Amino acid sequence: MKNTVLTLQKQKDEKNKITMLTAYDFSTARLIDEAGIEMILVGDSLGMTMLGYEDTLQVTMEDMIHHSRAVSRGVKDTFVVCDMPFMSYQVSVEDAVRNAGRLIKEGMANAVKLEGGVSVAPQIKAIVDASIPVCAHIGMTPQSVNAMGGFKVQGKGEDAAKRLIDDALAVEGAGAFMVVLECVPEKLATLITEKLSIPTIGIGAGAGCDGQVLVYQDMCNMFGGHQAKFVKHFGEIGEEMKKAFASYSKEVKAGSFPAKEHTYKIDDDVIEAAEEYCNKPEFINKVGNKTGEIELNIKKMLDSISR
Burial class (CB in 10 A: 0-12, 13-18, 19+), 178: buried
Q: Are 112 and 72 in contact (CB under 8 A)?
A: no
On whether the CB atoms of residues 184 and 153 are closer than 8 A, the answer is: yes
**Is 182 annotated as catalytic?**
yes
How many helices and strands (H and E) does the chain possess? Answer: 13, 8
Burial classification of residue 37, based on how many CB atoms lie within 10 Å of its CB (0-12 exposed, 13-18 middle, 19 or more buried): buried
- Dihedral sign for Cα atoms in the order 130, 132, 133, 138: negative
Query: Cβ distance 216 to 23 under 8 Å?
Result: yes
**Peptide bond between residue 258 and the one before it cis (omega within 30 degrees of 0):** yes
List phi, psi (to 5°) of 54: -80, -25
Distance CA 65, CA 63 (A): 6
d(CA 197, CA 181): 15
Rounded CA gap, 62 and 107, in Å?
Answer: 9
182, 251, 275, 276: the catalytic one is 182
Which residues have a catalytic role annotated? 182
